[in-house]
Structure 1
Amino acid sequence: MKNHITKISLFILIGLLVTSCNTTKRVPKNKRLLIKNEISVDNQSTKDEEVFNQLYQKPNSSILGYRLRLNLFNLAKKNTDSSYKAKFIKNPEKYKRKAKFLSKKQVDRLGHSFWHEGIHNFLKKTGEAPVILDTNSTNKSLRRLRKYYFDNGFFDVKTSFTADSSQTKKVKIKYSIDKGNGFKVDSIKTNIATPALDSIYKNKIAASFFKTGKQYTESDWENERNRITADFRNNGAFFFQQNYISRVLDTINTNKKVHLDLNIKNQNIRVNDTSRTQEFKLYKINKVNIFTDHPANRSVVKVNDSVTYKDFNFYSENKLKYRPKAITNAVFISKGGTYSDVNTTLTSKYLSNLRVFNYPVIQYKVDPKDENGLIANVFLTPRKKYTFGLSADFTHSNIQDFGISGNTSLGIRNVFNGAETFEIAFRGNIGSSRDIANPNGTFFNISEFGIDSKLNFPRILLPFKTDKIIPKSMIPSTTLSVGYAKQRNIGLDKENFTSSLTYNWTPRKNKTARFDLLNVQFVKNVNISNYFNIYESSYDILNDLAIAYGADALFFKNGKLEIDQGTNGFINQVFNSVPSNLNVSDEDLKTISSIEERRKRLTENNLIFATSFSFSQTSKSNLQDNSFHVFRTKIESAGNVLSLFARASNQLINQSGANTIFDVEYSQYIKTEFEYIKHWDLNRKKVFAIRSFFGIAIPYSNSKNIPFSRSYFAGGTNDNRAWQPYSLGPGSSGGINDFNEANMKISFNAELRFNIFGNLNGALFGDLGNIWNVFDDVEDETYQFNGLKSLETIALGTGFGLRYDFGLFVVRGDLGFKTYNPAKLENEKWFKEINLSKSVVNIGINYPF
């Protein structure tokens, strides 16, 4: 019965789709559906997005050529209310029977139910009404195209269009543009009424957007106006506005050349009903007044405390709570300096970045005692000194069946009266797991807690001055952080201590730099005997080999190697019994050796004492910018300082020949990373995005490998989505371990994003990449990177996904398929795993790159 229902439902769905695929279903008689716009420029077809953006009417959106939203709209009934009533008009007895069984009121309400009305309203809202050709809009498009090319210097441009209506009830519009020759700037004549402004203009004329011989464009004119306005206002012209700039173009009988007259008028001053003009004045700053606790909702200024510090006047309604130097470091407006918009903006940005005040209000007024001077008033509204946060969640994971997690945080502003901020957060989790032995019958048998603190200074803290290297215009800051976390009955029950001293600054707009002078991490594994309970893949291989080679029966319990006594006993029997009585093959001996080496590495305590530098740059201008690039790089060095200390203090050398600090072998390596992201806006909510990444960490001197916390992994929701996290690689090894990692990574991701309807978006993606071992102690060639030949082991995953945009964040789901799996046999690498049973589902928040 269920099979029949499924088949019937499928036939109905196919029928509905076929019906809806009649794209002209809702096109009125004598009207035509616009299905395509074509534009040719000088008899050459163009796909220029900016040119197509000039068109008023565009065809219905499509996904890979299929007009989904139009077909959804066509599925909906035009008038659900009248169709519902018509059903009873034709059959009044049916209405009587329903009204007798229910009631007239309820029968009428059925007409507004989801099945009769709601689903059709949903389809109309989600879908897209057919775009009907409108000749008025076509003529508007012609005018906009003409203006677009006119504004780009083609003053003789001609435009026309033809309509191709060969298909029934459908039409294609072909726009034809004859640009003609572009007009080039031949001469520039200036008429600047204020001599002081004329001098500023001439000093910066090399930066002009207008050059002799360059084609004239309106965008150059707008940029030139902005440039001139900025130059004047940054050099004291406080009252200057862009509307004082005008231009006259002479193109008559000039042989395709433009003679440009640039005019800048004097200042217009209006007093009551009369107006007059005067030359613009260049203003100096006579006073800088800083009001440190001025309420934003109060216009009257009250002062009960004041102090003067280096020509800055501080006023406070209550007792002054800030050291003046901490605030003046953030103020770029100075007494005796020239008025400048840039300095005003920098001051606002820096004061906001202190996170002690709300966004400041900066006002200027002419000094009553000096008509050429300004008084700058900086009004600051302090934020609350203390902030408190509290949150709790119920959790479920593969580690715990049920858990409760909580976070609490305390923030303190202006800790030492120097605009410093201090944050401390406590986090904890208790959970229950049936997989853990629990002799006491305690319900909550696993736990994790941690504490993190961070102290931020709005300046560079060093024993010497850094103003010449990192000036305050780069908004520098120093952060000191300390953290501790401990686990019980989770993994190896790690204790993790972290500490860092970090300097941050912004060299230029959209560029950030970070220098970690100290980044310390100490990881202590408390429960190393639990290793083979966590890394089950390694245990299964070891157990199978122990059974195959007839290991000592004392090592087994219930037919399997006992953890930890049996696993250690078998490994010792293989390597330490003299002579060995197991006759293990060389291949299996290599496997057991690899398992034991990995166990030792992942159970040893780690001490990382690193220094790093990070730099990032982006061209993204705002949240709506879909054409931008991002570049990030990082270099990190660890262990060099500890190496010097170990040698100077004659620290012990352990059995493997490595130096130790306080009996812990410290890590020594150098690591570098490069990442590049590029987005292209393809118009109509389509974006093509790529990301490339390369990272390598090379151990040396005191280390033969990289700590787990500093290694690379592949797979997962933000990486190669056809593999689960940690399941890809290294190399062609096939990801046989539970958590596969290595010290080198290459990846490349590409994604085409498009809108389906409303806030629902789709994506097609391809992910290339893998991880390898290089310059470390891993000897298995399938794990290693050995030159360009190893690029054959790069994995390829492809797939598609859905994204729903909630505004503040995006929820996405991706379905990935292993298109090329380097771990498979030669004739099984390509396309053998493209089926739903072997696909991987990844759920994530926001876009992967």
Structure 2
Amino acid sequence: MRTSNNKYFIICVLLFTILVLSSCSTTKHLPVGDHLYVGATVKINPDSTGKVEDQKSLKDLLESKTRPQPNKKFLGMPFKLWMYNLAGEPTKNKGIRNWLRNKVGEPPVLASSVRLKLNNDILTSNLISTGYLQAEVIGDTLTKKRKTKAIYIANTGIRYKIDEVKFPEDTTSVNKILQRFKENSLIKRGQFYDLEVFKNERIRIDNDLKENGYFYFNPDYLLIQADSTIGKNLVNIQVIVKPIAPIEALQPYKINKINIYPNYILQRDSIIRSAPPIEYKGLRIIDRRATFKPQVFDRLIFFKPGETYNRKDHNLSLNRIVNVGMFKFVKADFTPIDSLKSNHLDLNFYLTPLKKNSLSFQTTVTNKSNNFVGSEIRINQLFRNVFKGAEQLSISVSGGMETQVGGTQGIKINSTSFSAETKLSFPRFVVPFLKVNSTSAFVPKTNISLAFQTIKKGDFYSMNSIKSEIGYIWKENIYKEHILNPISITYVLPPDTSKQTYKDNIIRFPGLETNLEKVFIIGSNYSFSFNNQLNTERKNNIFFTGTAETAGNLVSLFANTNAAGQKIFAKTPLSKFYRLEVDFRDYFKIRKEITWANRLVMGYGHAFGNSTSLPFVRQFFAGGSNDVRAFPARSIGPGSYNSSTSQFYADQGGDIKLMLNSELRFKIFSIIHGALFADAGNIWLRKEDPTRPGSGFKGSNILKEMAVGGGVGLRIDAQIFVVRFDLAMPFRVPYLPENQRWVIKDIDFGSKVWRKNNLILNIGIGYPF
């Protein structure tokens, strides 16, 4: 019966597809006498037996330069053109037909729009710029069944190489700089002639000059001459400074006075010059209201009077002033004292401060990894420049209601929460008895925070927690960030243990009492992140974060020991553990709108002293909309233990975690994106829990106990937000008998019972990783 249903389903899909395709011929609605343009093919040296270096890449590059580009395809099919033809001509400017034709679809690209001579010139120019100085391109068209294809024959000739690179040898100040740094030249003997390299070489030389005080120099004052008449397909390169370069560009400049206007008003272009300046370490601060302490600007501005101008200090100063978060308008103005008689610049910083106080109100829809969805209201009050040292004080309160939509095992659970947090941030390293300076473009921060949270989950339990941290955040560069909290204190208060409901739940649900223990977590944590996804030109981007946490080691030296041998601090058991976690992600761009994303997560925790397992708030979990999506949130594991037998909502944690995700992401049309994904993972306890058989970690059982699932996804990606729908199904269930864990053979889309028990729709905000 299952086979019959599957066949019926497949036949219906095929019939529907054939019907749609037959009614959506790509050439049916073309203008009379015109043809559908289906793209271009470039043939490189077809009459020659020799091939050029990296011919496939060159062919792809040239084909991408031709215009127009044909209709876009999805999985090899012109989906958008089909939608355009299927919709037909709309009779009004709204409705489904108008939306399909003008938003989803795209009109046919016509052969009459192809300009062969223009494309010939474009392709020839591209070949010449990469060293094929004798290249010639000839294009023609081929038409068959009202479809036209352009064919371009590219005869490249031999690619020219560089024989010699010369820099000016006279003793003028600019040419001395060019000689000093010529070893860093991007143009090397033996390289291919490449116009793009020449452009980058001009930028390199300009940077060298800027670093040595040549403030008014720019790359347009450089000329790179190529002599291709020397024969043997070689060229000589000569770098010269153009004679038209003005005298201001040919001399280095030094910094004279540094003036800072921290209360500049952009609308009135006002500068309060009547206020006497405050002199501080070579800085002249014109601040009649004494809004900021002078030390603030000493940490933000890297120039000193008398120093030679350099671009590095220029950029560092601007970046740090912007990143300190105090100003909405920042301008650095360099003014020559007298360009005819002096080579000195006055440096003026015009800074418009943000409002000292700001109140924000936010309502959000929440979607958490444990399948709780709901809404939250958050109010945040921000005080800037609290102690006149660019500090920020943030006070926020939030409250919300949630309901669990997955992993409930038939029990619907409502959750309410309330939290309050205050955080004081200093724009520098605050280290007792030490002075620590930062020279990066990013301002380091010292944070002191205190937070309180109370959560009530239905009639099962409520939990209160207090957390306080003192720590530092700093960035090495745009890619690397460090977070160090040398002092981190968490105090977890259990529910009211006198209630009968609590006592009943402890009996019914194994492990619940351990999860809700009263505990003190006093320790330190460190996190390192690397993320180069902002570099969109890379074909492959990665994200990595690693965290390490330890608790209870130092404070236990001062803690008391109770009769049971437990370390007690403030009449509360002290948790002792260390915890490690890494999250590595790779994003490989197969094509412009197709990305293959992969993630590996590994976590390990070792508790010692008072307990054999990590405290509940530090445990690892598996399953859910951002995890192994074919299983309800927190329902996987530990190990081969079946949490569904408890009839309690899934909330299983562990000391060890391993998870792998793979997802193929592609654009369908407009803001609609699709995905195919597969997930695998599980958690384990370091030591077996007798009340949860199969929960212990054994190295030989890792692969045997991995949960595996996969599915399809649909995403609405509007750049500023992403709404995600992932439909997943299990492929391997770890808690089934060992020889029955692969369940792919049981897939039966035609069965209502199978769909109800196996298909999980995950609705989320943002991408899963």
TM-score, normalising length: structure 2 = 0.86
Q: Is the 8 A contact 1:693 1:747 kept in 2?
A: yes
Cα gap change, 1:716 to 1:254, in 2 (>3 Å): farther
User: Residue 801 of structure 1 is aligned with which of 710, 713, 731?
Assistant: 713
SS in 2 for 1:479: strand
Aligned to 1:552: none
- 1:621 is aligned to 2:534: yes
Cα gap change, 1:10 to 1:617, in 2 (>3 Å): closer
Aligned to 1:311: 282
Q: Is the 8 A contact 1:794 1:822 kept in 2?
A: yes
Aligned to 1:358: 328
Between the aligned partners of 1:30 and 1:394, the Cα distance in structure 2 is 55
Between the aligned partners of 2:457 and 2:673, the Cα distance in structure 1 is 42
| 1:319-398 alignment runs, 5 A limit | 319-368=289-338, 371-391=342-362
Unaligned runs of 5+ in 2: 1-11, 405-413, 750-754
User: Residue 459 of structure 1 is aligned with which of 421, 425, 428?
Assistant: 428
| Larger CA deviation: 380-389 vs 803-812 | 803-812
- 1:70 is aligned to 2:39: no
Structure 1 vs Structure 2 CA RMSD: 3.5
| The structure with more helix, counted as a fraction of residues | 1
Between the aligned partners of 1:51 and 1:529, the Cα distance in structure 2 is 77
Aligned to 1:27: 30
| Larger CA deviation: 125-134 vs 138-147 | 138-147
SS in 1 for 2:65: coil
| 1:707-718 alignment runs, 5 A limit | 707-718=615-626
How far residue 615 of structure 1 moved from its aligned partner, in angstroms, is 1.5
How many matched pairs?
726
Aligned to 1:843: 763
- 1:408 is aligned to 2:379: yes
Between the aligned partners of 2:716 and 2:160, the Cα distance in structure 1 is 48
User: Residue 517 of structure 2 is aligned with which of 596, 604, 616?
Assistant: 604
Aligned to 2:397: 426
Aligned to 1:4: none
- 1:213 is aligned to 2:186: no
| Larger CA deviation: 43-52 vs 236-245 | 43-52
Cα gap change, 1:529 to 1:179, in 2 (>3 Å): farther
How far residue 171 of structure 1 moved from its aligned partner, in angstroms, is 4.1
Higher relative contact order (CA closer than 8 Å, sequence separation 6+): 2
How far residue 482 of structure 1 moved from its aligned partner, in angstroms, is 0.7
CA deviation string 1:480-532 (max 9, x = no partner): 111112345755321110111111111123221111111211111123467xx
| 1:758-777 alignment runs, 5 A limit | 758-774=670-686
| 1:268-667 alignment runs, 5 A limit | 268-269=245-246, 277=247, 280-303=250-273, 304-316=275-287, 318-368=288-338, 371-391=342-362, 406-429=377-400, 448-465=417-434, 467=436, 470-471=438-439, 473-487=441-455, 491-528=460-497, 563=501, 596=510, 598-621=511-534, 627-646=540-559, 651-653=560-562, 655=564, 657-667=565-575
Between the aligned partners of 2:736 and 2:34, the Cα distance in structure 1 is 58
- 1:749 is aligned to 2:661: yes
Q: Is the 8 A contact 2:165 2:236 kept in 1?
A: yes
Cα gap change, 1:497 to 1:120, in 2 (>3 Å): closer
Aligned to 2:9: none
Q: Is the 8 A contact 1:518 1:610 kept in 2?
A: yes
CA deviation string 1:579-631 (max 9, x = no partner): xxxxxxxxxxxxx9xx55x1331121122123122122222336787752222
How far residue 680 of structure 1 moved from its aligned partner, in angstroms, is 2.8
Aligned to 1:53: 64
Q: Is the 8 A contact 2:36 2:111 kept in 1?
A: yes
Between the aligned partners of 1:419 and 1:41, the Cα distance in structure 2 is 62
How far residue 278 of structure 1 moved from its aligned partner, in angstroms, is 6.7
Between the aligned partners of 1:398 and 1:701, the Cα distance in structure 2 is 31
Between the aligned partners of 1:241 and 1:389, the Cα distance in structure 2 is 44
Q: Is the 8 A contact 1:192 1:263 kept in 2?
A: no
SS in 1 for 2:84: helix
Between the aligned partners of 1:845 and 1:35, the Cα distance in structure 2 is 38
CA deviation string 1:21-54 (max 9, x = no partner): 3222123344333345445556788377645432
Counterpart amino acid of residue 489 in structure 2? V
Counterpart amino acid of residue 699 in structure 1? A
Q: Is the 8 A contact 2:734 2:741 kept in 1?
A: no
Cα gap change, 1:663 to 1:344, in 2 (>3 Å): same
| 1:175-324 alignment runs, 5 A limit | 175-191=152-168, 195-265=172-242, 268-269=245-246, 277=247, 280-303=250-273, 304-316=275-287, 318-324=288-294
Q: Is the 8 A contact 2:83 2:105 kept in 1?
A: yes
Between the aligned partners of 1:279 and 1:202, the Cα distance in structure 2 is 17
SS in 2 for 1:680: strand
Counterpart amino acid of residue 282 in structure 1? P
Counterpart amino acid of residue 75 in structure 2? L
Between the aligned partners of 1:240 and 1:799, the Cα distance in structure 2 is 57
Between the aligned partners of 2:148 and 2:363, the Cα distance in structure 1 is 59
Cα gap change, 1:235 to 1:776, in 2 (>3 Å): farther
Larger-gyration structure (1/2): 1
SS in 1 for 2:37: strand
Aligned to 1:677: 585
Between the aligned partners of 1:421 and 1:450, the Cα distance in structure 2 is 20
| Larger CA deviation: 358-367 vs 135-144 | 135-144
SS in 2 for 1:335: coil
Between the aligned partners of 1:41 and 1:644, the Cα distance in structure 2 is 76
| 1:779-818 alignment runs, 5 A limit | 782-787=694-699, 789-818=701-730
CA deviation string 1:84-106 (max 9, x = no partner): xxxxxxxxxxxxxxxxxxxxxxx
Unaligned runs of 5+ in 1: 1-8, 82-111, 270-276, 434-444, 531-561, 572-591
Aligned to 2:631: 723
How far residue 777 of structure 1 moved from its aligned partner, in angstroms, is 5.8
Aligned to 1:153: 131
Cα gap change, 1:458 to 1:401, in 2 (>3 Å): closer
Aligned to 1:689: 597
| Larger CA deviation: 291-300 vs 192-201 | 192-201
Counterpart amino acid of residue 660 in structure 1? I
| Larger CA deviation: 392-401 vs 750-759 | 392-401
How far residue 754 of structure 1 moved from its aligned partner, in angstroms, is 1.9
How far residue 362 of structure 1 moved from its aligned partner, in angstroms, is 0.5
Q: Is the 8 A contact 2:425 2:446 kept in 1?
A: yes
CA deviation string 1:179-207 (max 9, x = no partner): 44432221111237772222222332222
How far residue 706 of structure 1 moved from its aligned partner, in angstroms, is 0.9
Q: Is the 8 A contact 2:168 2:178 kept in 1?
A: no
Q: Is the 8 A contact 2:67 2:114 kept in 1?
A: no
Cα gap change, 1:192 to 1:412, in 2 (>3 Å): farther
Cα gap change, 1:488 to 1:619, in 2 (>3 Å): closer
